[in-house]
Structure 1
C-alpha cells in the first residue's frame, strides 16, 4: 500500500486521470440507467403494458431503439433462425425457393414489414426531437403504415398453409428471445416491465394475424414454447437448406476466408437440440467460452464507458419521399431498396403490385379493424 501511495504522490497525473476516469464512469452509469429508472418510476406496476398498448409500445421502443438496438436485432434474427428447426416451417420456406434465389431480399422484406409496425413510436419520437414539435400528419400516417404492414403480412401468409402452432411458436420466440439473448450478452437484463411490453406488443399483433390461444404471461408462453420445441425441433433436410442460406447471408458481412470460422462461432450460440435439428457440428472445445467472453467484455464496456444514445435508432424512413416510397435510413447488408419501397409491394416479386388483403392465420378475413394498432 505504501508503494502505491508513493507512486501516486510521485505521479499526480495518474492520480488525477484516475479521478477523472472514475467520475466519467459514474456519469455513464447514471445516464445509462436513467431512462429505465424513469420508466420504472412512471409505471411501477410491471403488468401495465398488458392492459395499455400505448404504454407497451413506449416501453418496447426503449428496448429496441434506445437501450439495445444492435443485439436486439440479432436476438430477433436468432429467433427467426430457431423457427427453421421446425420441419413444418422449413418445408414451406424451402418450397418457395426465396431463400435459395434471393435470401437477402426475403430477409429485408421480413424486417421492413415488422419494423413498419414496431418502429412506429420511435419514428414519432425521433421526428419530434429533430423538428422540435410533433408532426400530427405523420403520426396519422404512421398508423396507416403499421396497418398496411400488418395487412401485407397477412396477405402474404394467406397464400401458404401455415399451422396455428407454427404461428404461435414464431410469435413466442419474438417475445422470448430478446430477454434471453439480451440477458446473457447485454449491459443489463430486461425488467419485468419490458418483458411484459414485448409480450403485449406481440399479443396485439398476433390477434390481428388471427393467432389463437396466445398465453397471456411470459412464463406460460415460455413453458408452451419449450414443450413445442422439444417435440417438433427435429432434423429435416429443409431445416439445413434454410439454415445454410441464412448463415451465408449473415457471414456475407465478413471476408470469405473467415466463413468457416464464422460457422463455428454461430454454432457456439446454438443449443444441442438446435444443432441436432440442423445437423450443424458442435464448435471446437474452448471456443464457446471465448465467444461468450468477448460478448461479456462488450457488455461491460458499454455498461461502464459508453454514454447512452440521445435519439432512438430507427431504420425505417421518418417520412415518404416524393415518389411516396420509404427509403431505409441505413442498410445492414447490400441495399435491396436503395430508392425506397412501398409497403404494399414488400414480399416475393410475384406478389408485387397485388393489393394487400387481410387474412387471419385461420385463413379468414378478420372482422376487427386495425385502427387500434
Structure 2
C-alpha cells in the first residue's frame, strides 16, 4: 500500500536541525520538535529507548499478565512489535490531529478498550515513553536533550495521552518523572508472566542483530543495560560485573564517535522501514489485534 510522505521539515544546505529546534516554541510547536528529534537528531537512540520503555512495563505483573493472555508475544512477537512501532510512528510523523494520526490513535484506543486497564497503568506506560528517551540520551546520546526539547517531548506525549483518554495527566515534566519513579518503586515485582513476556521480547530484539544460534550469547548484553530492580522483576540473573561496565562503555564510545561524524541530513521515518510482517505495506485499520 502506498504510504503518504510525512509533513516534515527538511534542512537546506548549511542549515542544522538543532538550530531549527532552537528557533521553535516548545509550547506551540512541540509536535514539530518531537518529530525532528525522532527523525533527525536521535533517530536510532530514540527507537532503542522506546524499546526499553515498553520493556520496563513488563516488570509490572498487572501489565505483563494482560499481555501474556493475548498470546501475541508467544505466537506473533514480530507483528506485535511492528504494530506498536508503526502506530506510534504514524502519530509522530503525521501529527496528532492529522487524518493518519487520528486513525492510528483510534486503532490503539479500540484495542485498549477490549481490556480492563487501569488509568494508573496506562499513565505509567505513557510516562515511560517520555522518561526513557530523556534518560537514554543523558547516558548514551551524542548529546542530551536540551530543556526546550525535553519540554516539547513531554508536551507531545501528554497530548497523545489525552487523546487516549488517560486522566490525571501531570502538568509538568517534573511531576511526570516523579510519578514514573514512584510507580516503579511500588509496583515492580517478579512474576512468571513478567519473565515470559520479557524473554520473548529480548529474543525478538536480539534477532534483529544476531542469527538465531547466537541469541543466547546476546542475552547477557541486554541484561547488562537493565537496572537491578528491573532485572530482578524479570527474573534475570545479574551479568558479570565486567560486562555491566563494558556494554555502557561501548555505547558511550559510539556517542563520542557520533559527535565527530556529519549530522543526519535525511529523515529516518519508521513508517517507511521495510518490514517482513508487511511486505506489501500496511493498512492502519488492520494493525494490532481484533476480537
TM-score of the two chains, using structure 2 as the length reference: 0.91
* Aligned twin of 1:341: 282
* Aligned twin of 1:102: 76
Q: Which is worse superposed, 111-120 or 84-93?
A: 111-120
Cα distance in structure 1, aligned partners of 2:167 and 2:265: 39
Cα distance in structure 1, aligned partners of 2:106 and 2:127: 21
How far 1:100 moved relative to its partner? 0.5
* Aligned twin of 2:274: 330
Alignment of 1:278-289 (within 5 A): 278-289=234-245
The root-mean-square deviation of aligned C-alpha atoms, in Å, is 1.6
Alignment of 1:8-47 (within 5 A): 34-40=16-22, 42-43=23-24
Cα distance in structure 1, aligned partners of 2:274 and 2:41: 18
Contact 2:85–2:270 (CA under 8 A) maintained in structure 1 = no
2:229 maps to 1:273: yes
* Aligned twin of 1:127: none
Cα distance in structure 2, aligned partners of 1:38 and 1:109: 31
2:251 maps to 1:295: yes
Q: Secondary structure of 1:119's match?
A: helix
TM-score of the two chains, using structure 1 as the length reference: 0.71
Flag the structure with larger Rg.
1
Candidates 240, 250, 267, aligned match of 1:312: 267
Contact 2:21–2:36 (CA under 8 A) maintained in structure 1 = no
Contact 2:31–2:152 (CA under 8 A) maintained in structure 1 = yes
Candidates 222, 231, 253, aligned match of 2:177: 222
Cα distance in structure 1, aligned partners of 2:83 and 2:21: 32
Candidates 88, 98, 106, aligned match of 1:143: 98
Candidates 71, 87, 94, aligned match of 2:61: 87
How far 1:233 moved relative to its partner? 0.7
How far 1:120 moved relative to its partner? 1.4
Unmatched tracts of structure 2, length 5 or more: 1-13
How far 1:255 moved relative to its partner? 2.2
Cα distance in structure 2, aligned partners of 1:345 and 1:190: 35
